[in-house]
Amino acid sequence: MEEWIAAFEAALNAGQVEAAVSMFSAKECYWRDLVAFTWNIATMDGRSAISKMLHEQLTQVGSISIEPEGEAKVDGEGVESWFDFETATARGKGYVRLREGKCWTLFTSMTELKGFEELSGRRRQAGAEHTASKERLTWLEEREREERTIGTEIQPYCLVVGGGQGGLALGARLKMLGVPTLIVDRLPRPGDAWRQRYKSLNLHDAVWSNDLPYIPFPVHWPIYMSKDKIGDWLEMYAKVMELNIWCSTTIRSAHFDDQAKEWIVNVEREGKTVVLRPKQLVLATGLSGKPKTPALPGAESFAGVQYHSSEHRDSTALAGKNVIVLGSNNSAHDICVDLWTVDADVTMIQRSSTSVLKIPQNPPSPDLPTPRRDLLSASMPFRARESIDREECEKDQRENATFYAQLRSAGFLLDFGEDNTGVVGKYFRRASGYYLDVGGSDLIINGQIKVRSATTIKEIRQRSVLLSDGSELDADAVIYATGFEPMESWVGTLISKDCERRVGHCWGLGSNTAMDPGPWEGELRNMWKPTAQEGLWFHGGSLSQSRIYSLYLALQIKGRLENLPISVHQPAPIDRGPITSQ
Amino acid sequence: MEEWIAAFEAALNAGQVEAAVSMFSAKECYWRDLVAFTWNIATMDGRSAISKMLHEQLTQVGSISIEPEGEAKVDGEGVESWFDFETATARGKGYVRLREGKCWTLFTSMTELKGFEELSGRRRQAGAEHTASKERLTWLEEREREERTIGTEIQPYCLVVGGGQGGLALGARLKMLGVPTLIVDRLPRPGDAWRQRYKSLNLHDAVWSNDLPYIPFPVHWPIYMSKDKIGDWLEMYAKVMELNIWCSTTIRSAHFDDQAKEWIVNVEREGKTVVLRPKQLVLATGLSGKPKTPALPGAESFAGVQYHSSEHRDSTALAGKNVIVLGSNNSAHDICVDLWTVDADVTMIQRSSTSVLKIPQNPPSPDLPTPRRDLLSASMPFRARESIDREECEKDQRENATFYAQLRSAGFLLDFGEDNTGVVGKYFRRASGYYLDVGGSDLIINGQIKVRSATTIKEIRQRSVLLSDGSELDADAVIYATGFEPMESWVGTLISKDCERRVGHCWGLGSNTAMDPGPWEGELRNMWKPTAQEGLWFHGGSLSQSRIYSLYLALQIKGRLENLPISVHQPAPIDRGPITSQ
């Protein structure tokens, strides 16, 4: 391993691209880079892609030093190792996996820009000066001045739309990098996006996956947090990280001024219109666009209540009623369970098959600290992880064979993804099509939640729904768990339809499976990376993605603020266009 | 070292007290125990005290196992080592220092009670149950129910008076141990005790000394925190730790019912009187009692403003005025500096000599993690640390000889404690008599703050003050930085004068120096340990003491809640009486 690293370092420093490329496996090889070499989030797949990247980027990267970190790990198939590296402009952390002496996967990630290191740990600020001064402001005075002036006297360099975990995590990173930032959110308090969800909602990921940057969750917190607990935490986080947030604030329009190279953003805050002129605009509005409700014949004549799943708060008013839930993904299941707790008569209408994954009640806590797990997980290129996901999914199917059989017997349409990569595969490709089972499937198996599958609602009548299979169900309420517009729809709403088309689809890898058309891109489209629209960025996903990728997005923004020489490898295609397949 | 530990363990398990005692140095030896052996906070000084303790406590302690932890550390004078131990009821951590094969200092501290371990880390709760349930409450519902019922439908087992860092840290420990607890505080919001201080106040201890339990400060926080920043943190802490606090609430009276073995506490909350019946009452009201203002002849005829230092918020109204500050400790200095920033003409009246210690601007961050530093510091008995404090103090005097000479030249009366143990000695003995220099001394040296020393105010006239040295100073304002009643005065105010007398003086070691009369007790009187009043406890001190000792106080309270067999070694003297010396 040490020899490989030393030889690779030497080849790069000598500009011997072909020598470097020959150290990768001719059969299968990947180089995944987070900002350090490409100023992008990119995976180079195969020797020729790697060769192209090095030819284009090596001059900019400059002189490189690479140091193995710790002992290399030998397993049956090969050997792998952490390493630290330094380029002309940055320090980074990497991971390399060798097979038969050649590189199978190489991972490089930027940790910090030289000269712009975070003032943390041994670099932390004094906070107080131990000499008397007549001019010095107190911490409170400085903080109040910053809050008062940002967006009014001082333009934010970066405007973040959305104050959920994504916006806050990014805001925190930018704060630590000294990037003047303003976050706007339509709700009154940070955390409200969680608080306003239905009351039984808990996080599906274990607490150790969910840390935000800089302030980990307390070590006594439960494995699965309630939505109100995370809501309160986010509010605390915004305060403690001293983020500048305008709550109860809505973006009316945003337009990029190509001359001034800045955005003109019209914002409504407390009834007044404010114009902001940030250089960078980040949409951290979540994976979903606006709620999508089908226009069903007869809906206007329905005598009961009907609403989209995103409006579901509490089932109390539906106690004992006949309720139809259209949809079969996470929120459909959670709402069905919630209705069952008040003894509603619940029927789920499953239009197409769904993946189900049982969430373990007591998963073992991990051995590696969070930053290492983050990097290790990021080090595996998406293409290479497909077979791992498939193995996991097949193992799950074997271990839970009885459960899945029972679910099918109850009439539930089950699938494990087009290529058996299960829920994980679907998450990265389309972020939908699955249920993370926290108890709903058992109610389906027991018949306490009824399922009508491979059908949909054809027509709504005054007190019933007519299904496409011809049957008719009594209905006091219809809840549409029918999903959301894609996240890029926010671009159309806030900026322009033209910009939405140019930027195109967000999320998905180009796997050429349902809702993720090809060509293969190998990274999540448009996420945390330069888009076809200058100065426009997307940030979103799970808490752990928010934690991990907020760093790389923040470093890209900081680099631009500091006018570093930035040449982006594999820039986004122009006119990527909307999602078209299936 | 391993042999010593094994032999000591064997002697204890065989009940061979004299064999165990003979393993301590005949010349000088100490055993400091935090709860584990004594159910007290106690230092046994010398072989006979150790022998007495073992004779009394060994049966209760039961079978013991002791395991060295890590490598023993050899230095010039001896060898020392960490160890883990387990008794019949508890697990603990210890530290032992051997000199010439015999024990010089032994430290034992309880970490957790067996069967009552904190649900944290690998023991953390699931938080969500992955089966559907009709009865289950959400986290928010449970939390709201707890807040609604504690103190009304459900009596707190423990009532903590004071919601500063002490009360909150203890509340957090008790929460983790499942002790039903209510905290009351007279101010509107947690953290207000800090917020309402004068605006320039910063913590004098570095951030890494100040962590509260369970949620350390973020790694990017400044070394010295502003009072408003710590105020906000405390408010966040109370919320995140889910503590039950009644703010804007005052204790009117408290009386211990000897029959029912519980307190009857009259509390005024939002204009209404509420009667609480806790079994344990903790005064976490800070090291100070009420402000102490001298009754000076003529004060009523003074035409300017006069107030106690605790009421000083901001100097703006005193810009350009002649201001007399009576007193020369920390707040006197800080207020003088604050007045100087608005160009007041400031004179400090120094009645008696003061210790001064320069606070370093950029102290190096420590190598050991906080829990280890806490235990290492606690492992040194107070008597044994005197020579260490003296060495430090003498080193400081040598290194800052010029500074101290300049200060004396400016007329400032300087001392380093009666036995040259400096500020640290004074802190543990009387918690007063010093200034932690953050810039004020330079202003004294430069004459920008004037000092009149070895004098006091004899009389106040309409627009001046007359000093005992006969001189007269013009005065538009007089600020009394004249200190506070001792902390035990709260007992007289809230409970009774009789109880105050029986409980007697708090803090101080019995060093027989100014304001700390003998006899030697070797521990801070009444702090975090059983007092002469059943069910009454004191908790207070710096942030680091709050963090460290809240654990031992919480374990003592938990032991009583669970009716564990508790025999207290060295119970508090009855009728200790008030402080009498000097």
Of A223, A226, A360, the CB nearest to B139: A226
* Residue A341 scores a pLDDT above 70: yes
Q: DSSP 3-state helix, strand, coil percentages of chain A (rounded to 5)?
A: 30, 25, 45
CA nearest to B159, candidates B180, B142, B176? B180
CB A121 within 8 A of CB A45: no
C-alpha–C-alpha distance, residues B419 and A336, integer Å? 75
C-alpha–C-alpha distance, residues B257 and B283, integer Å? 18
- The residue type found at B388 is I
Beta strands A249-257 and A262-269, pairing class: antiparallel
Q: Show the tokens assigned to B522.
A: 């070797």
Residue A139: its pLDDT value, please? 95
The answer to whether B273 faces chain A, any CB pair under 8 Å, is no
Return residues 290-349 of B near A (CB < 8 Å): 337, 340-341, 343
Query: In the predicted model, what is the mean pLDDT of residues B397-407?
Result: 97
Residue A579: its pLDDT value, please? 67
What is the percent of chain A with per-residue pLDDT over 70, rounded to a whole number? 99
* Residue B510 scores a pLDDT above 60: yes
**Close Cβ partners of B367 (under 8 Å, ≥ 6 residues apart):** none
Q: What is the mean pLDDT of chain A?
A: 95
* Residue A8 scores a pLDDT above 90: yes
> For the whole prediction, is pTM greater than 0.90?
yes
CB B312 within 8 A of CB B466: no
pLDDT in tens, A433-482: 999 999 999 999 999 999 999 999 999 999 999 999 999 999 999 999 99
CB–CB of B119 and A220 under 8 A?
A: yes
CB–CB of A139 and B239 under 8 A?
A: no
Residue A582: its pLDDT value, please? 37
What is the percent of chain B with per-residue pLDDT over 70, rounded to a whole number? 99
The answer to whether B114 faces chain A, any CB pair under 8 Å, is no
CB–CB of B229 and A437 under 8 A?
A: no
pLDDT in tens, B244-276: 999 999 999 999 999 999 999 999 998 899 999
Q: Which residue has the higher pLDDT, B70 or A77?
A: B70
CB–CB of A122 and B232 under 8 A?
A: no
* Candidate from A186-200, A560-574, B121-135, B212-226 with smallest mean pLDDT: B121-135
CB–CB of A126 and B220 under 8 A?
A: no
* Residue B42 scores a pLDDT above 50: yes
pLDDT band per the 50, 70, 90 thresholds, residue B96: very high
C-alpha–C-alpha distance, residues A542 and B72, integer Å? 46
Residue A580: its pLDDT value, please? 57
Return residues 53-72 of B near A (CB < 8 Å): none
Of B132, B138, B143, the CB nearest to A340: B132
* Residue B580 scores a pLDDT above 70: no
β strands within B228-271, DSSP E? 245-246, 249-257, 262-269
DSSP string, B153-189: TB--SEEEE--SHHHHHHHHHHHHTT--EEEE-SSSS
Query: In the predicted model, what is the mean pLDDT of residues A348-370?
Result: 94
* Residue B143: closest C-alpha in chain A: A229
CB A291 within 8 A of CB A484: yes
* Residue B582 scores a pLDDT above 80: no
C-alpha–C-alpha distance, residues B461 and A171, integer Å? 58
Is residue B547 classed as helix, strand or coil in its secondary structure?
A: helix
Interface A-B, measured as beta-carbon pairs within 8 A, has a size of 171
Query: In the predicted model, what is the mean pLDDT of residues B149-158?
Result: 97
Query: In the predicted model, what is the mean pLDDT of residues B126-143?
Result: 91
* Candidate from A125-134, A317-326, A509-518, B500-509 with smallest mean pLDDT: A125-134
Is residue B202 classed as helix, strand or coil in its secondary structure?
A: strand
From the centroid of its chain, how far is CA A190? 18
CB–CB of A341 and B133 under 8 A?
A: yes
CB–CB of B220 and A214 under 8 A?
A: yes
Q: What is the mean pLDDT of chain B?
A: 95
Residue A385: its pLDDT value, please? 95
Beta strands A355-358 and A536-538, pairing class: unpaired
CB–CB of B218 and A222 under 8 A?
A: no
* Residue B427 scores a pLDDT above 60: yes
Return residues 425-444 of B near A (CB < 8 Å): 437-440, 442-443
Of A121, A239, A340, the CB nearest to B219: A121
* Candidate from A85-94, A489-498, A573-582, B290-299 with smallest mean pLDDT: A573-582
CA-based nearest distance B280→chain A, Å: 25
**Alpha-helical runs (H) found in A92-216:** 139-149, 165-176, 192-195
Q: Show the tokens assigned to B122.
A: 């690998």
CB–CB of A218 and B214 under 8 A?
A: yes
Chain B hits for A361, Cβ within 8 Å = 126, 129-130
pLDDT in tens, B339-365: 999 999 999 999 999 999 999 988 988
CB–CB of B200 and A440 under 8 A?
A: no
* Residue B233: closest C-alpha in chain A: A240
pLDDT in tens, B165-213: 999 999 999 999 999 999 999 999 999 999 999 888 999 999 999 999 9
CB B469 within 8 A of CB B430: no
Residue A539: its pLDDT value, please? 97
Residue A76: its pLDDT value, please? 78
The answer to whether A189 faces chain B, any CB pair under 8 Å, is no
pLDDT band per the 50, 70, 90 thresholds, residue B119: very high
pLDDT in tens, B313-338: 989 999 999 999 999 999 999 999 99
Query: In the predicted model, what is the mean pLDDT of residues B539-543?
Result: 94
Task: Give the angle B171-B176-B181 at the CA atoms, nearest 5°.
Answer: 40
C-alpha–C-alpha distance, residues A384 and A28, integer Å? 9
Residue A474: its pLDDT value, please? 97
Residue B581: its pLDDT value, please? 41
Please classify residue B99 by burial: count the beta carbons closer than 10 Å to its beta carbon, then call 0-12 exposed, 13-18 middle and 19+ buried: middle
Residue A581: its pLDDT value, please? 40
pLDDT band per the 50, 70, 90 thresholds, residue A14: very high
* Residue A531 scores a pLDDT above 90: yes
